[in-house]
A and B are shown apart, each in its own frame.
Chain A
Amino acid sequence: QKEVEQDPGPLSVPEGAIVSLNCTYSNSAFQYFMWYRQYSRKGPELLMYTYSSGNKEDGRFTAQVDKSSKYISLFIRDSQPSDSATYLCAMFKNTNAGKSTFGDGTTLTVKP
């Protein structure tokens, strides 16, 4: 069983929709949680970084962490065609040299 499971998608939504991307994890030792966005044929870029349970907002993006349920989510409000990309969740433990474990990614297409 994988330590990190990500909703596989693909996901296709109309412009302006609210998007929810989700990951679950099995190891309670994970303490730091990240979302990366990866455009086609590019390297991933860090979108959101959170440590504690709760919500963190940055513009149209909200990262949510529920450590008791071992569940993280990324919400995108007012989605735009430029949000079309693959989104990867990632997490790492406190004492393992920052080695991140990644989900397999969810590919999102936002249609104009």
Chain B
Amino acid sequence: NAGVTQTPKFRILKIGQSMTLQCTQDMNHNYMYWYRQDPGMGLKLIYYSVGAGITDKGEVPNGYNVSRSTTEDFPLRLELAAPSQTSVYFCASSYSGTRSYGYTFGSGTRLTVV
């Protein structure tokens, strides 16, 4: 059972480039989330999804986009990368509603924009 898998683990982007961070889970979780973690800080929600075809903005969505075409996959798209997007990105998933028992996180993607 793989849990939540994120790729790539590391990436260096130049200002203005675009990329997609991949996230897939094999636990049949309805809910999926993208968070970013800056050094010494907690996690800030970028986007989330409550099921295939349904996505919504979190606290810091600017500069990002998501899609959820299947239950398993929840890619995060960065358009026109900026230095402010240098961060560690975590994907997470959980059961829905009162069945939720907290998140299962991926191992993260460490992104540097230069």
Contact = CB atoms under 8 A, between A and B. Distances in A.
Interface of A: 4, 6, 32, 34, 36, 41-46, 49, 88, 90, 92, 97-100, 102-105
B85 interface: no
B15 to A, nearest CB: 25
A98 B94 contact: yes
Contacts of A43: 4, 90, 105-108
Interface string B40-59: 11111100101000001010
Interface of B: 4, 31, 33, 35, 40-45, 48, 50, 56, 58, 90, 94, 96-97, 100-108, 110
Contact of A44 (B40, B44, B105, B110): B105
Given A88-B42, A104-B41, A46 B33 contact: no
Contact of B48 (A49, A99, A103): A99
A34 B94 CA distance: 13
Nearest to A4: B42
Interface-central residue, A88, A92, A100, by most chain B CB under 10 Å: A100
B102 A88 contact: no
Nearest to A100: B103
